[in-house]
Structure 1
């Protein structure tokens, strides 16, 4: 589920917090880093639990409508499209999902007021109105609606985003945005003839390798901090190092750590990744600055033999 790029993002955030903090307990900081990753997976499961609430509320509303003193024709014969959505069914009947939700004690039960407000918002949303405008059923329509739910309707409902962020310090806006993209990835994998929910995404693509990468990147960047600071200072002599954004310096230190200690990661990949991260976290000018400094560093590392890459083409920048 979590790509190597996002693992770098989470490691960067943990390193930034570590260097900003007066508490220099590396083990504690590392534990919090992996805890933040686990909480992202909780958020993924939490969002997948929402369709069960939507279907349940829709069913209750239909039953209540039938008990009106003077029920309308629509009350007596409601549009079943939402409660009959086959993608919702694949999610709500998945035993693996239910097991994980129970194990991690994740539920929308304490948030019934929020669910009520969300359902009111949902019924007024143009995507819902369009979906419910006919009684024709098709898997394609069902899947398209669920994609829209996670891609547009939930992000449009700011109260839900705010409430979710309040639930955990690990559930910030960036995490919500990323996790929703992973839920969408899951939903798009569904097949019409499938009797079961397509297997849940795992937290890691390759757990052993991903955990090893994060630990090494986190710890080596800290261990080599002074040495990397000097290397970067030597290449930024025309700049006042004190005035260079801390984010830029940290990104370059992480890049240096990868260039020196990650023998199987191509130079091009490292350069591209950290230049891309500079677009996310730093100033508009940072991309050019970091690119220029890293090019000089790569040339020096090649010349003095400090950068050893295993495999053809890995040294190419």
Structure 2
């Protein structure tokens, strides 16, 4: 299932991606200025290319100076107009990216639930394909056993429960997800013929006369965990359709395993939730991303003042995203203890950044948190206050 650490990690990645876009937008704005001073090829007048090039350089320098917050004394109206237009262009691009990321981080995360459903229902599709292929071949089973010992995947009670689940059917219909496309069916046919038919665990199961519910659950879990979520055929498909597949796979596997385990223990199938309280977690996730971006300059200053011998532009962009998200959580989430926040982002740095980042991030956050608690910027309440005494 999703937990807060996974959501923090996803927020950091989104912050990093947004900042990359912002840097690209900055370069596009400067290109916009350069384009404004290109020779007009449709003009009948002689173009002074040297003068245009000079104006372009002056306008870009003016843009960079103003962007850095330095005072401007330029009075040339033509240059000021072009620079103003470039700023407007830049700000519009940033706003569009911000809106996109706010929407995308939620939809991308909720897609994990889609893949969870897809993985479960792939068992049903494999069973249906096996039955169809067996009928076509005139054999009782595709697994090469005599009729008396033949067994089909569809006879597995776990797979039957998934197939008969109205909850799964409704969710798949609502989310418009299925395994009915030709390329999907072709992939599952290949998986059945080339992988399952040679898999020792599957072959051993097929010899059982009356498998127990536990054995049926073990087979379903094995196919999901060791074949569907691991074999290059299906993994390649998942990776093509989910840019975050590598990091989402562990959550999907956890949801699938818990579902099958629940059937084994209780005899009934219940869909897992994305997290114990997704609505609350979604609010935390969105607020963390949004407020970190909105307070970027404040956090940049806090980091810059405490990063000894490091200019802010020399700190790895991933480390900057981690530090800014951590600062935002310490400042804007009063119920989360400072020590919890620091430990969480140190662990995230191990996953996302360089080997040396852990020590750097730990030291800077320790120093920053002590200073910000002292000056009243960080104010904790309830459990957060108790834990930070």
Instruction: Settle same-fold status: TM greater than 0.5.
Output: yes
**1:137 match:** 211
Q: Report the Cα offset of residue 75 of structure 1.
A: 4.7
- Which residue of 6, 17, 24 maps to 2:94? 24
Question: Partners of 1:193 and 1:265 in 2: how far apart?
Answer: 36
The alignment's C-alpha RMSD in Å is 2.4
Q: Report the Cα offset of residue 78 of structure 1.
A: 4.5
Instruction: Confirm or deny: 8 A CA contact 1:87 1:146 kept in the other structure.
Output: yes
Query: Structure 1 residue 210 and structure 2 residue 258: aligned?
Result: no
Task: Say which structure is richer in helix.
Answer: 2
What is the number of equivalent residue pairs in this alignment?
312
Query: Structure 1 residue 118 and structure 2 residue 225: aligned?
Result: no
**1:41 match:** 113
- 1:77-226 to structure 2, matched below 5 A, reads 77-80=148-151, 82-110=153-181, 111-120=184-193, 121-169=195-243, 171-191=244-264, 194=267, 196-198=268-270, 200-226=271-297
Q: Report the Cα offset of residue 47 of structure 1.
A: 1.2
CA-to-aligned-CA distance 1:236-290 (integer Å, 9 cap, x gap): 1223433321111110100000000101112222112111111111111211211
Q: Report the Cα offset of residue 298 of structure 1.
A: 1.4
CA 277–192 in structure 1, closer or farther in 2 if over 3 Å, else same:
closer
Instruction: Confirm or deny: 8 A CA contact 2:306 2:364 kept in the other structure.
Output: yes
Task: Give the TM-score, by structure 2 length.
Answer: 0.74
Instruction: Confirm or deny: 8 A CA contact 1:81 1:135 kept in the other structure.
Output: no
Task: Give the TM-score, by structure 1 length.
Answer: 0.90
Question: Partners of 1:151 and 1:247 in 2: how far apart?
Answer: 31
Question: Partners of 2:258 and 2:325 in 1: how far apart?
Answer: 29
Q: Report the Cα offset of residue 127 of structure 1.
A: 2.4
Instruction: Confirm or deny: 8 A CA contact 2:307 2:364 kept in the other structure.
Output: yes
**RCO (CA 8 Å, sep 6+): is it higher in 1 or 2?**
1
User: Based on CA coordinates, which of the two structures has the bigger radius of gyration?
Assistant: 2
**1:3 match:** 3
CA 242–141 in structure 1, closer or farther in 2 if over 3 Å, else same:
same
Instruction: Confirm or deny: 8 A CA contact 2:117 2:168 kept in the other structure.
Output: yes
CA 135–297 in structure 1, closer or farther in 2 if over 3 Å, else same:
same
Instruction: Confirm or deny: 8 A CA contact 2:330 2:338 kept in the other structure.
Output: yes
CA 191–172 in structure 1, closer or farther in 2 if over 3 Å, else same:
closer
Query: Structure 1 residue 278 and structure 2 residue 349: aligned?
Result: yes
**1:12 match:** 12
Q: Report the Cα offset of residue 29 of structure 1.
A: 1.7
Worse overlay, 291-300 or 175-184: 175-184
CA 303–193 in structure 1, closer or farther in 2 if over 3 Å, else same:
closer
Q: Report the Cα offset of residue 193 of structure 1.
A: 5.2
Q: Report the Cα offset of residue 106 of structure 1.
A: 0.8
Instruction: Confirm or deny: 8 A CA contact 1:267 1:315 kept in the other structure.
Output: no
Question: Partners of 1:75 and 1:307 in 2: how far apart?
Answer: 72
Which contiguous aligned blocks of 4+ residues in structure 1 show a shift greater than 6 angstroms? none
Question: Partners of 2:358 and 2:7 in 1: how far apart?
Answer: 20
**1:58 match:** 130
CA 58–231 in structure 1, closer or farther in 2 if over 3 Å, else same:
same
Q: Report the Cα offset of residue 101 of structure 1.
A: 0.8
Q: Report the Cα offset of residue 145 of structure 1.
A: 1.8
5+ residue gaps, structure 2: 26-92
